[in-house]
Amino acid sequence: MSIDLKPLPQTYFEDVNVGDEVPGFSYKLDWTEMVKQVSGSQDFYAVHHDPEFAKSGGHKDIFYNTGWTRANLYRLLADFAGPDGWVRKLHFEMRKMNRPNVTIQVRGKVTAKEQTAEGNLVHLDVWIENEEEGVATPASGIVILPSKA
């Protein structure tokens, strides 16, 4: 079996405009995804894998952890920045939960861009949403993009 991995396209500072939507991604959360994230992160706190324990703490069900949330937001920023770009900053707030049996959407929008001594900075609003909670995790980020010049 061969896997055809294609490199990410490069995003250039000159091609980005305030208001542009960032191509995002979505996927269905299920028990397999939960097992992968718990075992990969080694976060064995029962609220992430034991529904009765989670419910005893006042939650509707188990939920995905902070590391998983951060990884999805970084993935969006890194994919947008491309192979020669750089994720400079990420800030996020876990306001609502992402649980099994929902489909998440990870999205973003360009809010500002500036050329500084540090580089070509692009500011973004990014978020994770699902059909059960709406926007579960509002966030913001800054990427450094290369110039075409």
pLDDT at 6 over 90: no
pLDDT in tens, 29-51: 877 777 777 666 666 656 666 77
- For the segment(s) 13-145, the CATH number from 3.40.50.280, 3.40.718.10, 3.10.129.10, 1.10.3720.10 is 3.10.129.10
134: left (phi > 0), else alpha (psi -120 to 50), else beta?
left
Q: What is the mean pLDDT of residues 19-38?
A: 84
- Give me the residues paired with residue 124 across strands: 110, 141
The model carries a pTM of 0.85
SS3 79: helix
Q: Quick check: 97 and 136 in contact, CB under 8 A? A: yes
Give dist(CA 88, CA 15) in Å, integer: 19
Q: What is the mean pLDDT of residues 57-82?
A: 86
Q: What is the mean pLDDT of residues 122-147?
A: 96
Q: Where are the domains of the chain?
A: 13-145
If we measure between CA atoms, which residue out of 95, 71, 80 comes closest to residue 144?
A: 80
